[in-house]
Amino acid sequence: MAAGQKAVIASAVPATRTRAGHNAADLHPKGKPPARQAAQKVQGIPKADAHKGQGPVHAVVQVTRKAFSDLAAREKGLIGEHMVDYHELKRLGGSWPHDKPTGPWSPEAIQKINSDKRPVNLRLADLPRVTQPGLDAVWKHHEKYTVTEAKFSASIGVAYGMGKKRVSSGKLGKPTGLNPSLELLFYLLSDNADKRITGSPMVQMSEDWVVDRGRTEGLDARASAALKARQNDRRVLLVTFESKGAVEHGEALVDIHMGLSDDNVRPHTEHGITNEWSASDIDSVVTAREKAFKAQNAAADRSSTLADEEQKSVKTKKSKPKK
């Protein structure tokens, strides 16, 4: 985290610190004016030519990438689960005191009912929860149930890259027939915690997977029956450093690591997401995973057959008498 602290401290230097709703100033040598750049706009925001590696947006991206790359994987997961919990709670129309271990649900009809029965807080005490097996969150809202899975990646590009790397290395079957958004979900539901290729019959967040994991969540009888009967919604949400509020959460976590009091921890009240997928999206990925798994097994069988034939051919040639 020492490197992460340096990265975030660097982002707090005047003229470079990022703030919600603002762009950082250009970085340039002291005493020299910044190079003139052609004015551009992206979604109404003035932007320099990013291809040249210059401009306020580029500066923000580089500092942010550094801050997030220096956070450990489990800490990134903590940020993801925290932001998704509070995002979903707001979406469902409920609330809980932010980053507090106890408090009232408002209204009581909307609650997280698994694990500690509260949102994941941005606290070091909650770090162990990130690596616990099971469902990230089961929400009860007006007698209905929704299961959510939180994913975190430094960026969409990183998530794509890691997925494609697993495909090229043979650890994951190649997705076919999916649009770019579903292809990304295909990769996210095929992370290192997913043992699909080594024998597990279930894809993460599939109906079967939710039923299986739901048995160990300590749910009440009604919630358990709803999940077992597949009478629940399923959602996957991705948080990246592009998500609104993600940078502030990374900075706040560094403050927490430094032992600062709550009053001195940088504000982190925005809980945006980069992408989200519904149950029908997840089912499309499950179908694609089955096809990819079968194709991968067929390719492995062909390779094994060819290897056996080549070996037999070599043995036959060696057994023939020399003339």
What 276-281 contacts at long range (C-beta under 8 Å, 24+ apart), as own/partner pairs, is 276/235, 276/236, 276/237, 276/238, 277/181, 277/182, 277/185, 277/235, 277/236, 277/237, 278/233, 278/234, 278/235, 279/233, 279/234, 279/235, 281/181, 281/182, 281/185, 281/236
Is the separation of the CB atoms in 99 and 46 below 8 Å? Answer: no
Q: Quick one: pLDDT at residue 5? A: 45
**Residue 253 burial (CB count, 10 A):** 27
- Residue 73: the pLDDT is 85
Do 87 and 273 touch, CB atoms closer than 8 A? yes
Element (H, E) at 162: helix 156-168
pLDDT tens digits, 127-173:
998 888 899 999 999 999 999 999 999 999 999 999 999 989 888 88
Q: Are 203 and 175 in contact (CB under 8 A)?
A: no
Tokens at 159, concatenated: 């998530």
Closest CA to 281 of 173, 227, 206: 206
Task: Report the C-alpha gap between 250 and 155 in whole angstroms.
Answer: 14
d(CA 265, CA 255) in angstroms, rounded, equals: 6
Q: What confidence score (pLDDT) does residue 151 get?
A: 96
Distance CA 114, CA 219 (A): 6
Does this model's pTM top 0.85? Answer: no
Judged against a pLDDT cut of 60, whether residue 8 lies above it is answered with no
pLDDT (tens digit per residue) in 56-99: 655 555 555 555 555 788 899 999 999 999 999 999 999 999 99
Measured between alpha carbons, how far is residue 261 from residues 78, 252, 255, 266 in Å? Answer: 19, 11, 9, 10
- 220 pLDDT band, cuts 50/70/90, is very high
Does residue 46 have a cis peptide bond before it, meaning omega lies within 30 degrees of 0? no
Q: Dig out the tokens for 304 from the structure.
A: 């094994």
Question: What percent of the chain stands above pLDDT 70?
Answer: 66
d(CA 184, CA 121): 27
Torsion of CA 16, 18, 21, 26, to 10 degrees: 20
CA distances to 110, 140, 181, 196, 220 from 107, rounded to whole Å, are 6, 11, 34, 39, 19
Tell me the CB-side half-sphere exposure of residue 52, using CA atoms within 13 A.
Answer: 11
For residue 51, what are the contacts with CB-CB under 8 A and spacing of at least 6?
Answer: none
Which single residue is written with the structure tokens 């100033």? 25
Per-range mean pLDDT, top range of 17-26, 124-133, 306-315 = 124-133
